[in-house]
Structure 1
Amino acid sequence: MSDDAYRELRADTHLGDVVETHGPLSLDPAADPFERLVVSIVNQQLSTTAAATIRDRLFDRVEVTPAGLLAAEESVLRDCGLSGQKVGYVRNVAEAFQDGLSADSLRTMDDEEVIDALTEIRGVGVWTAKMFLIFVLAREDVFPVEDLGIRRGMEHVFDVDVDGLSRAAMVEHAETWAPYRSYASLYLWRVVDD
């Protein structure tokens, strides 16, 4: 995290105390973007514990590469804990990467182009694409208002019921955190974790 990002977010009326409490945070690009995208799909709509169990089984039993996932028997993927729908989703991602989508190509795209490219894959929505931007490509200015944790964090820092603050209002306020909205998001998640 740059000194400028830390200084600006620490000066924010609503987020400043959280920034002060947790200190500078970092965004680090993932070593294997394909793997992280598969993990994002595994994690969708699951508790942290359930997702970790399925993820561990998957990585123990299958080579998590495009070729490995496409070669794996559906029964093996299901035995890992993936639903039939998620088996299809991870295979869709594997096919996209096998057909030419690559970490290098994604790194050269701007944020909207990455979201567009990823959401063309059945099973990858805007939330997953934004998580990819933050946790895989380490983009500094992404605000995933679609995430419940982000909305709960906003509820806390603004001291309002999350239903009393529309997503549009959240996005509008997050504009004040630009160009460091990804870091602001990290702090909002810390609020929820606390």
Structure 2
Amino acid sequence: MGLSQARLNEGIDHVAAQEPKVAAALDRVGYPEPRIRETGYKTLLRTIVGQQVSVAAATSMWNKLEAELGEDFTPACLLGRDFDTLRACGLSRQKQGYARSLCELVTAGAVDFDALPADDEEAIAELTQIKGIGRWSAEIYLLFAEGRGDMWPAGDLAVQEGLRRILDLSERPSEKETRALAEGWSPHRGAMAIFTWHAYANPAL
């Protein structure tokens, strides 16, 4: 599971104790709520379904997919449906390709969500072999589903902007700068990533 409220608060408190600007931001916006997803292929499949569409459209597609396949559908269920059936659920040709790649890898045992490498970079490398899953999607999965506490999706624009607000920077940092700024926060960067999203969405900053 993802980071619990206790682990989230503990991580943010640890960084706030060494970063006065983080402490000041915490006083203004408070602690974020946990972001927890279930482990397994469905969380990544839902990420694929939601790519480049609105939240409402993604929810609609997912509901149609579950109506067609059943709420507890297996990878084999999806692989057994033809193009037109999945297209009727809203999945484009590209998304179907990504979804089939994921389900084929899971069925073949090439990706085992119960036994991903303990090393974060190795786990990211294994997940990004799936078509349609880039580094950001892998990092989000490992943070939200597995609760890996040092995930830091530095390429996320909201993380960058949230960091700018928290640290009162003159401009949004680049991905490279975002990684460098958080180096000293390890092993609590996952909690801080969730805090930056919280700060980004909070008008108090």
Structure 1 and Structure 2 fold alike (TM over 0.5): yes
**Length-normalised TM-score, structure 2:** 0.83
- Pick from 34, 58, 61 the counterpart of residue 54 of structure 1: 61
Higher relative contact order (CA 8 A, sep 6+): 2
Structure 1 segments of 4+ aligned residues over 6 angstroms from their partners: none
Question: 1:42 & 1:157 partners in 2: Cα distance?
Answer: 32
Correspondence for 1:8: 14
In structure 2, the residue corresponding to 1:137 is in which secondary structure?
A: coil
The structural deviation recorded for 1:59 is: 2.0
Query: What is the identity, as a one-letter code, of the residue corresponding to 2:183?
Result: E
Count of residues in Structure 1 that have an aligned counterpart in Structure 2: 190
Correspondence for 1:169: 177
Question: 2:185 & 2:52 partners in 1: Cα distance?
Answer: 28
- Pick from 81, 87, 93 the counterpart of residue 84 of structure 1: 93
Percent identity at matched positions? 31
Correspondence for 1:155: 164
- Pick from 139, 153, 174 the counterpart of residue 148 of structure 2: 139
* CA pair 146-44 structure 1, distance change in 2 beyond 3 A: farther
Structure 1 spans left out of the alignment, 5+ residues: none
Counterparts of 1:24-63 in structure 2, within 5 Å, are: 25-26=33-34, 28=36, 30-63=37-70
Matched, 1:111 2:120: yes
Matched, 1:191 2:203: no
Listed one character per residue, the Cα deviations across residues 127-172 of structure 1 (whole Å, up to 9, x for unaligned) are 111111111111100110122221221232233332xx22211111
Which structure dedicates a bigger proportion of its chain to helix? 1
Say what the alpha-carbon RMSD is for the aligned residues: 2.0
* CA pair 36-132 structure 1, distance change in 2 beyond 3 A: same
* CA pair 120-14 structure 1, distance change in 2 beyond 3 A: same
Structure 2 spans left out of the alignment, 5+ residues: 1-5
In structure 2, the residue corresponding to 1:46 is in which secondary structure?
A: coil
Q: Is the 8 A contact 1:6 1:24 kept in 2?
A: no
Question: 1:77 & 1:16 partners in 2: Cα distance?
Answer: 48
In structure 2, the residue corresponding to 1:104 is in which secondary structure?
A: coil
